[in-house]
Structure 1
Amino acid sequence: MVSLLGVTPLLAPPAATQAPAGKHVAVPTILVHAGFFEREIHRVTHSYGRVVHAFSTYEERRAADGPVVGRGINSIELFWDGTRWWIASAVWFDEDAQHPIPPEYLP
């Protein structure tokens, strides 16, 4: 586990669920058979010092040129260590009838 800003996280996924750098992670079978293509359609970023937060709105398709089958927002926190950007966290939420994407996160 990488310590950012000298603070070690108290909670982390078990080591068995973390892929070593440069290694491939198994893709769920459903994505292999059904296809999965995600394209960013809008981004809102905020930064302070060496930390950036990005809301990245996406469209999801089953084929590269297929119809849009879903949308949502990725929430990504990044940290610059002076050499490269590190993803500190990434979560996403798919749009649904109760949670439409707000206008400020659309093109």
Structure 2
Amino acid sequence: MSTQESGRTEDGRACCESGAQPRKSHHSDEFKNILGTRLNRIEGQIRGIKGMIERDVYCDDVLTQLAAVQAALGSVGRLLLEGHMKSCIVDRIGAGDYEVIDELLVTVNKLMK
């Protein structure tokens, strides 16, 4: 099982284990590359939308592109949420930290707006 799949770092810590430092996730390079590629594409789409507005492109066409960007951002959010639930949440519940459930619910509500 890879580090990404187990949700643990090379030294065995959980991906979001904080200790004395701020919590951090520890994604594999492959996962970061996947997210980075998607975010770069979204960034390009946003620049394209800005150009469409500057060129006075028909509003419906701009709105269609905005919907595509929102869907792409939602996809990135779902990927991150899935990884978070499979690693950080499971590990924190296993350690007896049930407050993480409230934290997760807040996050899910933000994503669903």
Normalised by the shorter chain, which TM-score bucket? under 0.3
- Which structure carries more relative contact order (alpha carbon 8 Å, separation 6+)? 2
Q: Which structure carries more strand by proportion?
A: 1
Q: Which structure carries more helix by proportion?
A: 2
Greater Rg, structure 1 or structure 2? Answer: 2
